[in-house]
Amino acid sequence: MAVKSSTVERLVGSYQAWATNGASRVPAWLKDLREGGITRFGDLGFPNMKQEAWRFTSVAPIAETAFELAYPPARVPSFAEIHPFLLGDSGHRLVFVNGFFQRSLSTPASDGVRLESLAQAIANEPDVVRRHLCKYAEFQDRPFCALNTAFVAEGAFVHVPAKVTVAEPIQLLFLTTGGKQVVTHPRNLVVIEREARAAIVETYASLEHDVYWTNAVTEITAGEGAWVDFHRVQRESPRAYHVAATQTHQGRDSTVNLHTVAFGGALARHDIGAVMAGPGGTLILNGLYLLAGAQHADHHTTIDHAADHCESHEYFNGVLDGHSRGVFTGRIIVRPGAQKTDSKQTNNNLLLSTGAHADSQPQLEIYADDVRCTHGSTVGPLDPRALFYLQSRGVGEHEARRLLTYGFAAEILGRMEVAQLRAQLDAIVRGRLAES
Amino acid sequence: MAKSALLEVKGLRAAVAGNEILKGVDLAIRDGEVHAIMGPNGSGKSTLAQVLAGHPAYTVLAGTAKYEGKDLLDMKPEERARAGVFLAFQYPVEIRGITNSYFLRSALNALRRERGEPELDPIDFLQFLEQKLQAIGWDDSMMNRPVNEGFSGGEKKRNEILQLAVLEPRLAILDETDSGLDIDALKTVAATVNQLRIPDRAFLIVTHYQRLLNYIKPDVVHVLADGRIVKTGGPELALELEAKGYDWLRDGVMVS
């Protein structure tokens, strides 16, 4: 049984006030969607640790905090303030503060690419939005996704038409600021049509070290032969709660490279779902979590091989210091008929202190016989053999430890194609390791 | 004029996990000399190599090892390396996420700091590396891959020799560098080692087989059995061992 709490009732109440107030002038289909979301959330309530998908993660701190729905920021941050979260000065980007679109900080796209706020997109091209929105991120069993769906209103909309290649990475920045205990429900939709190519960087961050809650959902669909490099950077405040779902859906012969790094948040839960719906698809899930103090990060990934001749490679590395805890669940489903599936999963966890802890659970469900699926996971301190190897080359013990730890992170960052982002993340990693 | 020994080991006894492996080794290596240590499996060859490099799993029970007149056994592994001791590993270790190039630069800069020389930035290092590679006639295909990760057995051993060429030690210990190499790879490695033989560099080559010594001609050959050096001779001793095998050694005693 799911726990029902007064918080659930309060959230349902806040939905009703919101839906009947300013957010009421929306098309009927969207209203239905929201109603479906809040009804389901009301039924499910917050998850508890008796549920398999939440065995290692308690969301009590979220359920017990009286978050209020975010309101527009009292002050729009300056470009200088958001600059550290961007890739240089130029490039196409959408910036949201407390969930609200900031036109003055955003830059439009060109070449027929649509880059706008979801609210605008719902008004401007309801057909495309309606065709894809909430079609991939399933919420029947996911209370947070249901809650996000109830509050669908604002977020990023990216539409790359067929055969268009977007030269520069598209940046989506979500900032929370203002010092109040607010919740935002960003909802993002990325549609990459057939044979189109794009790189996208989605960043969640804060200008302060506040307590707030982000409950985000991003749906990404890649058409036939499309190529998407999607990067997700979670740099929330160290006191924030971050819950998110990223759902991809791939057509025939498409490629999705989904890179994710989690640096921030007191408590972070990220569900990644990938459906390989057409034959010949390629998927890379490449993730890093770098935690310290009492941080807790839970990555729950599901790769669904629904078609034949698809290839998926999943690499998740965790570097855990202090009393932090990393959870990784890697579920791989190979559907009947998904022959010639080639799937490889690895999860390596480096424990830098005796107080750190990692849980790693692979879950393979294979219903086809002509497939290749491998998985492996490790949890442990630095390899003493590697340490001696470095020392035997003249590298001092302290530096050797730092180098080996850095390697754990660098292995993941090295798979990212966007050099500017790689450099930015590399600097963050080095900074974090220098502190420890 | 007799040179003083670069490495002088006396009565060295060492244990791993409570088992005494080295039971009193005496050895003296002078500048420019190539010594081979041969012996059957379990005789303590690799232990000797590891103990000289400072592997923390081995405990020294007794004896001394002087390197350039200093107490080698009192130095940390990194201090030995900075002083010019190099061990080519029998089983080179994989290091995830760190490219060979980055690894080598970190190591070289650690040595340069010790010598009071300025550190090399990535660009200077690449130039330096190019020269080294050219000198030994190797390409840079291994440089941008993570250290030893996904390397074949032969590539791992070649990588050890490449490090030797870059780090320019004074005492190079090769621990079964020939094992797992096919004949072509063996020749390449041997040719490189021969090229790196210079008057102020000594080699200690640990090997089970005589094969490598066809290509790298040692000045001195030692036979290690049950933790002791039981016989020392010239290159002809290696041939004798090859012909007779190790069966004539029993309980560390020459019985023939």
Q: pLDDT per residue over A212-266, tens digit each?
A: 999 999 999 999 999 999 999 999 999 999 999 999 999 999 999 999 999 999 9
Q: Categorize the per-residue pLDDT at A132 as very low, low, confident or very high, splitting at 50, 70 and 90.
A: very high
Let me know: does A193 contact A113? Beta carbons within 8 Å. Answer: no
Chain B residues close to A407, C-beta within 8 Å: 95-98, 146
| Out of B55, B94, B167, closest to residue A393 by CB | B167
B182, amino acid identity: D
B251: helix, strand or coil: coil
A392 in contact with B at a CB cutoff of 8 Å?
A: yes
All residues at 6 or more sequence positions from A130 whose CB lies less than 8 Å from its CB, including other chains: A29
Which residue bears the tokens 């420890």?
Answer: A436
A393 in contact with B at a CB cutoff of 8 Å?
A: yes
B144 in contact with A at a CB cutoff of 8 Å?
A: no
A380 in contact with B at a CB cutoff of 8 Å?
A: no
Chain A residues close to B55, C-beta within 8 Å: 388
**Contact: A391, B111; criterion CB under 8 Å:** no
A382 in contact with B at a CB cutoff of 8 Å?
A: no
pLDDT of residue B256: 44
A408 in contact with B at a CB cutoff of 8 Å?
A: yes
Which residue in chain A is spatially nearest to B76 when comparing CA positions? A391
- Joined tokens for residue A309: 């001749």
Chain B residues close to A414, C-beta within 8 Å: 97
Q: pLDDT per residue over B46-96, tens digit each?
A: 999 999 999 999 999 999 999 999 999 999 999 999 999 999 999 999 999
Average pLDDT, rounded, for chain A: 95
A398 in contact with B at a CB cutoff of 8 Å?
A: no
Chain A residues close to B103, C-beta within 8 Å: 390, 393, 403
Let me know: does A136 contact A219? Beta carbons within 8 Å. Answer: yes
**Contact: A390, B95; criterion CB under 8 Å:** yes
Chain B residues close to A410, C-beta within 8 Å: 97-98
B168 in contact with A at a CB cutoff of 8 Å?
A: no
Question: How far is it, in rounded angstroms, from Cα A273 to Cα A384?
Answer: 36
**Contact: B56, A399; criterion CB under 8 Å:** no
Predicted confidence (pLDDT) at residue A19 exceeds the cutoff of 90: no
B53 in contact with A at a CB cutoff of 8 Å?
A: yes
Sheet with B171-175, edge to edge strand ranges? B85-88, B171-175, B202-207, B34-38, B220-225, B228-233
Q: Which of A282-286, A359-363, A364-368, B129-133 bottoms out in mean pLDDT, i.e. has the lowest?
A: B129-133
A386 in contact with B at a CB cutoff of 8 Å?
A: yes
Q: Report the complex ipTM.
A: 0.95
CA distance A396 to chain B (A): 6
Predicted confidence (pLDDT) at residue A279 exceeds the cutoff of 80: yes
Q: Which of A145-159, A274-288, B50-64, B129-143 bottoms out in mean pLDDT, i.e. has the lowest?
A: B129-143
Q: Categorize the per-residue pLDDT at B254 as very low, low, confident or very high, splitting at 50, 70 and 90.
A: low
How many contacts (CB atoms, under 8 Å) link A and B?
84
Q: Categorize the per-residue pLDDT at A387 as very low, low, confident or very high, splitting at 50, 70 and 90.
A: very high
* pTM, 2 dp: 0.92
Average pLDDT, rounded, for chain B: 92
Residue B204: closest CA among B163, B213, B195: B213
**Contact: B163, A393; criterion CB under 8 Å:** yes
Distance of CA A366 to the CA centre of its chain: 26
Q: Categorize the per-residue pLDDT at A6 as very low, low, confident or very high, splitting at 50, 70 and 90.
A: confident
**Contact: A407, B53; criterion CB under 8 Å:** no
Spell out a b/e string for A165-194, using b for 16 or more CB atoms within 10 Å of the CB, else e.
ebebbbbbbbbbbbeeebbbbbbbbbbbbb
Let me know: does A252 contact A153? Beta carbons within 8 Å. Answer: no
Residue B48: closest CA among B19, B68, B25: B25
**Contact: A404, B167; criterion CB under 8 Å:** no
Q: pLDDT per residue over A72-126, tens digit each?
A: 999 999 999 999 999 988 889 999 999 999 999 999 887 789 999 999 999 998 9
Q: Categorize the per-residue pLDDT at A1 as very low, low, confident or very high, splitting at 50, 70 and 90.
A: very low
Which positions 196-235 of B are in contact with A (Cβ < 8 Å)? none
A405: helix, strand or coil: helix
| Out of A348, A392, A410, closest to residue B98 by CB | A410
Chain A residues close to B122, C-beta within 8 Å: none
Which residue in chain B is spatially nearest to A411 when comparing CA positions? B97
- Joined tokens for residue B193: 């080692």
Q: pLDDT per residue over B203-213, tens digit each?
A: 999 998 888 99
| Out of B53, B93, B96, closest to residue A411 by CB | B96
Which positions 335-364 of A are in contact with B (Cβ < 8 Å)? 348
Residue B206: closest CA among B231, B176, B166: B176
Question: How far is it, in rounded angstroms, from Cα A382 to Cα A376?
Answer: 17
